[in-house]
Chains A and B, each alone.
Chain A
Amino acid sequence: MERKKILKFAIILMFGVLTAGLVNLDLLQGSKFRRLSDSNCIRLIAQSGARGNILDRNGDIIVDSKISYDVLILPQELSRIDHILGEVSRKSGISLNELKTAFQKNYFSSSIPVTIASNIELKKAIILGEYKLEEPGIIIQPRPLRHYPYGALASHVIGYVNEIDRWRLTKLEDYGYKTKDIVGFGGVEEKYDYYLRQEEGGLSVEVNHRGKFMRVLGFEPPRNGKDIQLSLDLRIQKIAEEYLSGRKGSIILMDPQSGEVLALANYPNFNPAVFVNKHTRLIAGLFNNPDSPLINRAISSSYPPASVFKVAVASAGLELKKINLSTSFLCRGYAMVGARKFSCWDVHGSQDIISAIAHSCDVFFYKTGLLLGAQNIHDYALKLGLGKSLGFELPYETGGFIPSPLWRKMDKFRKWFDGDTANLSIGQGDCLVTPLQAANMMAVFANAGYLPSPYIIKAVGGFDLSARKKKLSRVAFKKSTFEIIGRGLRAVVSDARGTGNVLSGLGVSVAGKTGTAEVSRGATHAWFVGFFPYDKPKYVICVFLENGGPGHAASVVARQVIEAMNKQGLI
């Protein structure tokens, strides 16, 4: 019968439709539904490990983490929530209102545990931990927080930690960074975030349709971040910060034989703990402060080197044989360059190279500079590591700037005049260097011929990096050049009329160069860049005071630092 066959066919069709439906759901979309099913019933409770510690060269802790406790709950039926919040409030002493507000604020979806209180005391955490036996929906989660035992010490080297911002997130997403991650800003925290960063572990638990805890499915232990050992010496760092404090500027101490930075202090500084404790007002104050306490002045700002630059001019003159030990110029308090009168800060009379460095005679260097020409000065400055970034390990390093006639022509479409050469010869004009560059340049004269690449990271995760650091590069000057300039630098301190004479009589022989940089507004910048002990240099020191007055002011600070170091037996 025809109709029976049609009906039979209809039945087969019905089962065909069902099979097709199965193929669609199970095979074609199976993985999607499996995922949906898992997200229905699996909750991940993250547990973070501790961020790596930051240590000084002797292994002493500069920054570590301390454990704080958070209270989370799995959102269940709302009536139960009120009851649980009430119990938590009673046991922990946190006001019920506070808990409720936190719950409402942090509630994201029924699938994610809600943080209702953070950073509670250990004692309360233990009490709540016992309550967990009755109410498995409660989670007490230890969370390591950044801890700064020395407050603001070395804050610019360390940086601070905060929630990741949008810009960083877009760049770092591919490396496993997520929204709300805590990442480093500035300093080692930022540059070495990838190593310092902890790996999150956690608990995966199964819950039912009401979010009620059923069982633990798995546990992945969190992993701590790698420790980073710096080349900083905590003792020297403390001394540097102590004598800098209150004055804008920076102090750098460096090992001239290796390029290790032993102390890097800046003022104004900041206490990174305000970012951990989320003191919104204090944070806003840091960002709005016109003195920019977040800026690492030692590497991120550049200033006119002033007389410190004369060291570069002198070595260029000696190397190119424009001057020698017997060359002398007469300082009458000024020199004529073309029709313009360029004055010296004093009347020095007849000056040879040694005394010109010692007295910081401008006239001697105007004349030397004019003999050399601007391009030569520029080239020799670059040989001494100025004018370009040092490739230092902290972020936001600036390269400084050494002008040249070529740059003037190509960039400004203007001619270079002899007056510009005279200005450049005493480190003024467009010339800019960072305090670290100044210290680095001085290291060449301290170790007689090697330009270091300064570094501050000694080891990462226990792996010593010093063998991998860039070797010191040879600066191919004549031996006599280093000897002559070295004598000049020593004379700055030892000569009774030397600009750095305040540093004499310390029990340790210091050599160096002062600088007083004219600025368009405000008081002059003060520089002292030198090394000690003179016979066997162990330290290069750079003291820079922004608007700090004459170079003498910097020399006084340098004296205090060296004195204190000497007293502690560090030299």
Chain B
Amino acid sequence: MRNSFLRVLLLALIISSLGILSIYSSTYQKEGAPWQDIYQRQILWVLIGLACFFIISQLNYRRLWDVNYFIYGAAIFFLLLVFALGIIRLGAQRWLRFAWFNFQPSEFAKLAVIIFMARYFSRKSVDDISLLSGKFGIFRGIILPFIFVAVPMLLIIEQPDLGSGLMLLLVFVSLLYLTNVRLKYIFTFIFILILPLPFFWHFLRDYQKQRLLVFLNPNIDPLGAGYTVIQSRIAIGSGGLFGRGWLSGTQSQLYFLPESHTDFIFATFSEQWGFLGSALLLLMYYLIIRQGFIIAQRTQDSFGRLLAYGISLLLALQVFINIAMNMGLAPVVGLPLPLMSYGGSSVLVTFIALGILVNIDRTRSVF
């Protein structure tokens, strides 16, 4: 259906344009050459992303079935490479240096894991639409796939990037839920995960502990770990109903809000466009995710359906956690806001994922 293609394309284009406007507004006053071309780089990434979107939406997604292990392997390979060659920025080793850009393999790994999961729980035959999971026991239904998810997850958490790691876990659990794995198993699994949490506390890095504590009460350290959340809440709240207007946000432009063009882009946007603009942005995200669910629902192929669900869930969870953390409703973790935040990998992977989504809907009618 061309319909869903146009709809997704339009929404993604609007959101990423708003993202570019926000990035420009948050950086144009800052001195120094590296700040000045940030929005241009983002434009370039969005253009590349659009190109990928068009290409991927033309390629049959079922080829992913065949190359799935290769993708999964590549993701693990890049993640390992990060440890060996990755460059350190903001205290974390998350990026691989390429010719003129930095690549963040964890973004890529998120998509790879979703493809892997969809492949794992479905059959190749397009005629047999039933899922395998109904026949699986607890080992093949949960433990084995979890091992496959856990490898990239732990690699990402070790970077350290707790947010993206936990994102994988959340997507995994919700996909398990969708694949009709028995609830009993899922709850057991979650219980086993939660049980050693106090023990994991000791494995968290100091800054991660601090962020969690600060989430519970941002005022314990207003100038340190709590600073970002306080400033971000001020930025969002000061927007009021109509916002302060484009290029008039003082929080984001005068450096008060750290990471105003990446993880805290929502606060930057909200300061300038106010409640109305932010609510509209939320609506657009909701529409794009809803479109994903509609596509998943009308796809007969179990692989395609799971893939569509996985992609929509990934989007939904990232949007939710990022914006919630901007508002101080979730602890601060390093998660970008898809399509809005500055960052080539995130933009590229999101456009590719959307391309796959659109292709699933297009291919559906072929069968």
Inter-chain contact A30/B320, CB cutoff 8 Å: no
Inter-chain contact A17/B329, CB cutoff 8 Å: yes
B324 contacts across to A, CB distance below 8 A: 17-18, 21
Inter-chain contact A26/B177, CB cutoff 8 Å: no
Inter-chain contact A40/B250, CB cutoff 8 Å: yes
The residue among B233, B254, B255, B286 with the most chain A CB atoms within 10 A of its own CB is B254
Given contacts A19-B282, A206-B254, contact A14 B316 (CB under 8 A): yes
Other-chain residue from A3, A19, A25, A41 in contact with B233 (beta carbon distance below 8 A) = A25
Is A570 on the interface with B (CB-CB < 8 A)?
no
Inter-chain contact B238/A34, CB cutoff 8 Å: yes
Alpha-carbon separation in the docked complex, A23 to B231 (Å) = 18
Is B68 on the interface with A (CB-CB < 8 A)?
no
Query: A208-216, A221-229, A535-543: which lies at the B interface?
Result: A208-216
Query: A4-12, A134-142, A183-191: which lies at the B interface?
Result: A4-12
- How far does the Cβ of B292 sit from chain A's closest Cβ, in whole Å? 10
Given contacts A17-B329, A214-B254, contact A34 B178 (CB under 8 A): no
Inter-chain contact B275/A23, CB cutoff 8 Å: yes
Is A327 on the interface with B (CB-CB < 8 A)?
no
A32 contacts across to B, CB distance below 8 A: 237
Q: How many chain A residues have a CB neighbour from B under 8 Å?
A: 34
The residue among A3, A12, A18, A34 with the most chain B CB atoms within 10 A of its own CB is A18
Alpha-carbon separation in the docked complex, A210 to B177 (Å) = 49
A27 contacts across to B, CB distance below 8 A: 240-241, 275
Residues of B281-319 whose CB lies within 8 A of A = 282, 285-286, 289-290, 293, 297, 309, 313, 316
Alpha-carbon separation in the docked complex, A3 to B313 (Å) = 14
What are the interface flags for A29-65 relative to B under an 8 Å C-beta threshold, 1 for contact and 0 otherwise? Answer: 1111110111011000000000000000000000000
Secondary structure dominating the interface of B: helix
Inter-chain contact B238/A41, CB cutoff 8 Å: no
Alpha-carbon separation in the docked complex, A4 to B254 (Å) = 45
Alpha-carbon separation in the docked complex, A38 to B271 (Å) = 12
Inter-chain contact A22/B240, CB cutoff 8 Å: no
Is A262 on the interface with B (CB-CB < 8 A)?
no
Other-chain residue from B178, B238, B282, B293 in contact with A3 (beta carbon distance below 8 A) = B178
Inter-chain contact B238/A33, CB cutoff 8 Å: yes
Alpha-carbon separation in the docked complex, A206 to B285 (Å) = 35
Is B341 on the interface with A (CB-CB < 8 A)?
no
Other-chain residue from A15, A22, A41, A208 in contact with B236 (beta carbon distance below 8 A) = A22
Is B11 on the interface with A (CB-CB < 8 A)?
no
Residues of B225-275 whose CB lies within 8 A of A = 231, 233-241, 250-251, 254-256, 270-271, 274-275
Is A207 on the interface with B (CB-CB < 8 A)?
yes
- How far does the Cβ of A362 sit from chain B's closest Cβ, in whole Å? 81
Alpha-carbon separation in the docked complex, A207 to B255 (Å) = 10
Other-chain residue from A4, A29, A30, A37 in contact with B241 (beta carbon distance below 8 A) = A30
Inter-chain contact B275/A207, CB cutoff 8 Å: no
Is B180 on the interface with A (CB-CB < 8 A)?
yes
B279 contacts across to A, CB distance below 8 A: 19, 22
The residue among A8, A22, A36, A207 with the most chain B CB atoms within 10 A of its own CB is A22
What are the interface flags for B185-226 relative to A under an 8 Å C-beta threshold, 1 for contact and 0 otherwise? Answer: 000000000000000000000000000000000000000000
Is B360 on the interface with A (CB-CB < 8 A)?
no
B270 contacts across to A, CB distance below 8 A: 22, 26
Residue of A at shortest CB range from B238? A37
The residue among B238, B241, B324 with the most chain A CB atoms within 10 A of its own CB is B238
Other-chain residue from A12, A14, A26, A36 in contact with B274 (beta carbon distance below 8 A) = A26
- How far does the Cβ of B101 sit from chain A's closest Cβ, in whole Å? 28
A210 contacts across to B, CB distance below 8 A: 255
Alpha-carbon separation in the docked complex, A12 to B286 (Å) = 8
Interface size class of B (residues with CB under 8 A): 35 or more
A4 contacts across to B, CB distance below 8 A: 178, 293, 297
- How far does the Cβ of B131 sit from chain A's closest Cβ, in whole Å? 11
Given contacts A22-B270, A206-B254, contact A34 B237 (CB under 8 A): yes
B347 contacts across to A, CB distance below 8 A: none
Inter-chain contact A7/B237, CB cutoff 8 Å: no
Inter-chain contact A11/B316, CB cutoff 8 Å: yes
Inter-chain contact B275/A33, CB cutoff 8 Å: no
Alpha-carbon separation in the docked complex, A32 to B313 (Å) = 35
- How far does the Cβ of A553 sit from chain B's closest Cβ, in whole Å? 72
A31 contacts across to B, CB distance below 8 A: 240
- How far does the Cβ of A170 sit from chain B's closest Cβ, in whole Å? 31
Is B60 on the interface with A (CB-CB < 8 A)?
no
Alpha-carbon separation in the docked complex, A241 to B238 (Å) = 63
Is B36 on the interface with A (CB-CB < 8 A)?
no
Is B75 on the interface with A (CB-CB < 8 A)?
no
Alpha-carbon separation in the docked complex, A11 to B290 (Å) = 9
Inter-chain contact B254/A207, CB cutoff 8 Å: yes
- How far does the Cβ of B96 sit from chain A's closest Cβ, in whole Å? 31
Other-chain residue from A26, A41, A206 in contact with B239 (beta carbon distance below 8 A) = A26
Inter-chain contact B327/A26, CB cutoff 8 Å: no
A41 contacts across to B, CB distance below 8 A: 250-251, 254, 256
- How far does the Cβ of A203 sit from chain B's closest Cβ, in whole Å? 17
Given contacts A15-B286, A18-B327, contact A36 B256 (CB under 8 A): no
A33 contacts across to B, CB distance below 8 A: 233-234, 236-238
- How far does the Cβ of A79 sit from chain B's closest Cβ, in whole Å? 17
What are the interface flags for A101-120 relative to B under an 8 Å C-beta threshold, 1 for contact and 0 otherwise? Answer: 00000000000000000000
B26 contacts across to A, CB distance below 8 A: none
Alpha-carbon separation in the docked complex, A22 to B283 (Å) = 13
Alpha-carbon separation in the docked complex, A383 to B180 (Å) = 107
The residue among A30, A206, A214 with the most chain B CB atoms within 10 A of its own CB is A30
Is B93 on the interface with A (CB-CB < 8 A)?
no
Is B22 on the interface with A (CB-CB < 8 A)?
no
Is B323 on the interface with A (CB-CB < 8 A)?
yes
Is B278 on the interface with A (CB-CB < 8 A)?
yes
Inter-chain contact B275/A26, CB cutoff 8 Å: yes
B323 contacts across to A, CB distance below 8 A: 18, 21
Alpha-carbon separation in the docked complex, A149 to B81 (Å) = 82
Residue of B at shortest CB range from A37? B238
Residues of A295-318 whose CB lies within 8 A of B = none
Inter-chain contact B234/A37, CB cutoff 8 Å: yes
A23 contacts across to B, CB distance below 8 A: 275
Residue of B at shortest CB range from A41? B250
Inter-chain contact A206/B250, CB cutoff 8 Å: yes
Could you list 6 A-B pairs, sorted by A, with CB under 8 Å?
A11-B293, A12-B286, A18-B323, A19-B282, A26-B239, A41-B254
Given contacts A3-B177, A22-B278, A210-B255, 16 further A-B contacts (CB under 8 A): A4-B293, A4-B297, A18-B320, A22-B236, A22-B327, A26-B237, A26-B239, A26-B278, A27-B275, A34-B240, A37-B237, A40-B231, A208-B255, A208-B256, A209-B254, A214-B254
The 10 closest A-B pairs by CB, nearest first: A33-B237, A37-B238, A26-B275, A209-B255, A208-B254, A30-B240, A25-B237, A21-B327, A41-B250, A34-B238
